[in-house]
Structure 1
Amino acid sequence: MPAAARIRPLDLFTREEWARLSTRNGWMGPLLILHGWAIIAGAIALSAWSLWFLPVSIMLIGARQLGLTILMHDAAHGALHPNAKVNDFLGHWLCGAPMGGHLKAYRAYHLTHHKFVQQAEDPDLILSRPFPVTRSSLRRKIFRDLTGQTFLKQRSNQFANALGLGLRKGPGAENRAQSAREAVIPMLITNAVILAVLITLGLWWAYLLLWLLPMATWMMLVTRLRNIAEHAVVPDNDDPMRYARTTLANPLEGLLIAPYWVNYHCEHHMFMHVPCYRLGRIHKALAAKGVTGSMEVQRGYPRVLAMATSKAEAPRAASAA
């Protein structure tokens, strides 16, 4: 199968416009990482002050945990910092590793997704192909996310693979086990540091309630919502303006569901090496040129979820007379 169709930036912008819109700098990436960890620290402090704020803290922390993986995603594109070594260090150790991600492995996987997006070879096609589903199906998925079942399944598989358990024997099995170990060991190291800091502050319990619990619940939910919004029920699997979706998020959605401009996913696929902090500006520039009318753009996550749950429920069997 050929690679997915692409758009050249200069087909839509002048050289001067594109240079202004796509410029990277060396401070925005580190500042965004600092911002993510600062919100996490603030949310922990808020619930340490009063446990009445625990539900809010869980949502804030889970969304920023997703946000840090989004910044790892930027690092996978080399967009987090102009220096490649700094980019990879920040993206791996400060963004991905605490959540069980491994930058090198993710980069290879994710760039394959970009090359073959929505084609048969796309490794992420499994995330979008099942949609639309019924509302009851999505409710079951959300229940599994919020009760930690999704997290436990993912982590148990990851740790089992790291130990070489449950892997199908044959070519590549040892490589898959090694890849899992390469992700698990940094996760254990970074989580040990987080736990040590919280113990030093007299907040050992916060590791369970305000780090693992948000990761196991709210992060799983918003990760699912992100995946649905990005490629589920897109109108055209071959059009580079319509095989990924931009979801216009309000400030609350940006805070709790779609941090760091991740909602501008159509723009990201159009210009995949542009840093996340430029995507909003690019969207406005495309709108000014009248281009967004040809793109897959929806307003708000409720609208996208309505599209993704448009499959009719199966009729119930008639009760016996």
Structure 2
Amino acid sequence: MNTRTAISDLFTREEITELTAKSDLHGSWAVLSTWAVIGGTFATVAGFWEYLPNWGKLLICIVALVILAGRQLALAILTHDASHQSLFKTKWLNDTLTDWLCARPVWNDLHKYRKHHLRHHSKTSTVDDPDLSLVAGFPTSKKSLMRKFMRDLSGVTGFKFALGRVLMDVEKMEWTVSNDRRWIAQEGRQWSDYPKAFIKNSGGAIVTNTALFSALWAAGHPKLYALWVLAYVTPFPLLLRVRSMAEHAGMETSNSALTNTRTTKAGYIARALVAPIHVNYHKEHHLMAAVPYFKLPRMHQMLRERGHVSEPPTYWQVLNELSAKAD
């Protein structure tokens, strides 16, 4: 098993200081631009709706679902970055603002996610990695991968995820973002404890989604909120799956981020859908999680120039590699 990579062997102290410098301006841009795309998507659908034939309405809804799912993933990635205290320089912006503007709208919780995710970083690719179930079973066959994708697009995965989230928020199941299920003993609980727990744990998601629905209602288009829900249960799980596969599936079991984590080349479409906020530079992120998103491309280039990493594969190449197993 490879030993853990010492970051001091890769960068000087001055370079580490420069790479880990955080910025409220860049953090604000990432959050506001994500919501600007969300708002622009709703506005576009509303503005063109009455002028489109039925097939045009169907087409614009499909496009909107894909765009919204990509931005829901962006909100999840912003939550991920905030869990490492790297999104904003100011703690309140990083921990409170991001929780309410990024985590809660996609039914997440920054503080619970941070506790879970930091264990993933300390135990990556080992049997104690809490995210191991997300990438188990790869490589697989193309037929198997297509079945997984169809479950995502049909809403089966999204429904199971939502059901799991309810069970976690009523505190019948331990909180996780992986596929593992660990049940909590229920001895001594009263029936009234379940709705109380749900309100306590899901209250933020309810408030932020009510705010989004109210904004659409005030704009005269409350029905557009259905696109947000449909995006969450259909394309969003597919994008989450591809992102997880690209990061760790099929990689070595080792203590080194240079071998247990994958960086993936992302073009404009990939960045819009499965690799927002430079999350594709995942090897770099695992090497030094304190580096903010806008410094990751520079960090990658420095590692390339020094021969520590090679040219990364594209997402298509990763998917082909992970589905090359014979039936």
TM-score, with structure 2 as normaliser: 0.87
1:310 aligns with 2:324: yes
> Which 4+ runs in 1 deviate beyond 6 A?
171-174, 177-180
Size of the aligned set, in residue pairs, is 305
Query: Quick check: 2:125–2:252 contact (8 Å CA) kept in 1?
Result: no
SS in 2 for 1:298: coil
Task: Sort the Cα spacing of 1:120 and 1:55 in 2 relative to 1 into closer, same or farther, 3 A.
Answer: same
Alignment of 1:171-186 (within 5 A): 182-186=200-204
Summarize deviations over 1:130-153 as a string: whole Å, max 9, x none: 111111111111111111111111
Alignment of 1:73-112 (within 5 A): 73-112=80-119
Task: Sort the Cα spacing of 1:249 and 1:183 in 2 relative to 1 into closer, same or farther, 3 A.
Answer: farther
User: Which amino acid is 2:308 matched to?
Assistant: V
Summarize deviations over 1:272-316 as a string: whole Å, max 9, x none: 1111121111101111222213xxx63211110111112211xxx
User: Which amino acid is 2:134 matched to?
Assistant: L
Query: Quick check: 2:34–2:75 contact (8 Å CA) kept in 1?
Result: yes
Structure 2 residue aligned with 1:134: 141
CA RMSD, Structure 1 to Structure 2 (Å): 2.3
Query: Quick check: 2:103–2:110 contact (8 Å CA) kept in 1?
Result: yes
Query: Quick check: 1:134–1:309 contact (8 Å CA) kept in 2?
Result: yes
User: Which amino acid is 2:274 matched to?
Assistant: I
Alignment of 1:25-64 (within 5 A): 25-50=23-48, 51=57, 52-64=59-71
Structure 1 residue aligned with 2:254: 237
1:21 aligns with 2:34: no
Summarize deviations over 1:4-43 as a string: whole Å, max 9, x none: 9533332112222222222211211111000100011111
Query: Quick check: 1:101–1:183 contact (8 Å CA) kept in 2?
Result: no
Task: Sort the Cα spacing of 1:179 and 1:229 in 2 relative to 1 into closer, same or farther, 3 A.
Answer: farther
TM-score, with structure 1 as normaliser: 0.88
Cα deviation, residue 49, structure 1: 2.1
User: Which amino acid is 2:268 matched to?
Assistant: P
SS in 1 for 2:277: coil
Cα deviation, residue 179, structure 1: 7.9
Structure 2 residue aligned with 1:273: 290
Query: Quick check: 1:6–1:240 contact (8 Å CA) kept in 2?
Result: yes
Query: Relative contact order (C-alpha < 8 Å, sep 6+): which is higher?
Result: 2
1:215 aligns with 2:232: yes
Cα deviation, residue 53, structure 1: 2.4
Query: Quick check: 2:172–2:185 contact (8 Å CA) kept in 1?
Result: no
